[in-house]
Structure 1
């Protein structure tokens, strides 16, 4: 079955597959102020929640990023003297195509990578905040870099973070990024837990089809 006709089916998550692979893939690792009014951009989705078609998902992702990229270009052009700009991304089904096949490295989500490349080419730092556990930090870091993202910082959950509310955990990581002197000009994810809690000038929500995509 070609990727263009792939339909996502619920089963073993790709993150779990990566966790198994983590012990056998040699990789290197690289380590990471203002709270603005969030504007959530969402796509109108046509896919049924239980049966998500790859092409529909890509079209819906593109619709969101078609709103995000013009804003990013405008905001980057208006960088203030001395301002360090950053974008915060979720990973699963945001920056990577996690639920559409279980290959490793996982492919980049094309519409998101396009915006990320524009930002990183114009001096914006890219931070990745994920609910993935720390045990797969290295393979996640390698995967992101392998498909074209410049990783300024990757935040994964420690053992203690596993017991925290995901939204609170992700908000705390954005606060930590701000504490390093960055202005988070955009926060991009596919779940409400990626975007709630503030600490970003704009938020953009990719489709998750009622939680069917992780």
Structure 2
């Protein structure tokens, strides 16, 4: 053979192919011998998942029809536990006289909670509505994170916020943090959308990990020791440049 079918070989191949197609068509929707595709079980029911999320946040609806999380919910207790552990670690590092200590905080669902706003919209994201909510300082503070930030600031720790919000939201974001009682930050960093940052090689096309880890590397280059990095997404924490990364729970969405 020279790499081409002979006449009989070609006929046999065609017959085999037709037979395979007929076999596949005979049982639609089911795997057959030689099928390498992955057949998945039915996913979780979306309405049930939304109800589970609401229970996790202790969600309730007020007389005006608006949703609210509660401070004694499973989510709130877990956040308090994790932030408490983080504060204990920070205190130990301060006792050890760590050089130029700093902490880095994400904002959405780390420093400010978006469950109420999201549940009001049946967990459907609306960018314009989000911008308005930020302008209105409508996202309530995550109390344990606010307490950590103020305690850290009072003990000489530099507090930096590194958020995935676009840079044009800098003014309203800073105002919202002040309204909610956070300390004046040593720095507030937003995702570059107009002006490239010289310390970010990815310019205006950074993904979350490149932007946030690159910003932390920049802060370290300024002499800061980032003792804690708090976020609610794996992408908030990936890439290193912090002694301890703390992942707060967020079952509502994922940011790669």
Q: Give the structure-1-normalised TM-score.
A: 0.70
The alignment's C-alpha RMSD in Å is: 2.5
Contact 2:233 2:254 in 1 (8 A): no
Query: What residue number does 2:106 align with?
Result: 90
Given candidates 158, 164, 174, the residue that maps to 1:141 is: 174
Q: Note closer, same or farther for the CA distance 1:190–1:89 as it changes in structure 2 (3 Å cut).
A: same
Structure number with bigger Rg: 2
Task: Quote how far apart the aligned CAs of 1:51 are.
Answer: 6.2
2:76 maps to: 58
- In the TM superposition, residue 206 of structure 1 has moved relative to its aligned partner by 0.2
In structure 1, the residue matched to 2:217 is 175
Unaligned runs of 5+ in 2: 1-50, 58-68, 118-132, 197-202
User: Relative to total residues, which structure has the larger helix share, 1 or 2?
Assistant: 2
Q: 2:52 matched to which residue of 1?
A: 48
Whole-Å Cα distance in 2 between the matches of residues 157 and 129 of structure 1? 8
Which structure ranks higher in relative contact order (CA pairs < 8 Å, sequence separation ≥ 6)?
1
SS in structure 2 of the partner of residue 186 of structure 1: strand
Question: What runs of 5+ residues in structure 1 fail to find an aligned partner?
Answer: 1-46
The structure with the largest strand share of the pair is 1
- Aligned equivalent of 1:25: none
- 1:113 deviation in Å? 1.1
Q: Which residue of 1 aligns with 2:192?
A: 158
Query: CA contact under 8 A between 1:93 and 1:213: conserved in structure 2?
Result: no
Map of 2:95 onto structure 1? 77
Residue 43 of structure 1 aligns with which residue? none
Pair 1:116 & 2:149 matched: yes
For 2:207 and 2:255, the matched residues in 1 are separated by 19
Query: Equivalent residue of 2:116, what SS?
Result: coil
Query: How far 1:144 moved relative to its partner?
Result: 1.2
Per-residue deviation at 1:183? 0.5
8 A Cα contact 1:48 1:209, kept in partner: no
* CA 1:67–1:213: 2 relative to 1, 3 Å: farther
Question: 1:212, 1:48 → 2: CA distance?
Answer: 17
Cα distance in 2 between the residues matched to 1:173 and 1:125: 15
CA deviation map 1:107-154 (0-9, x unaligned)? 210011111111110000000111100110011011112222221101
Q: Deviations over 1:85-120 (max 9, x none)?
A: 100010001011233235832321001111111111
How many pairs align? 167
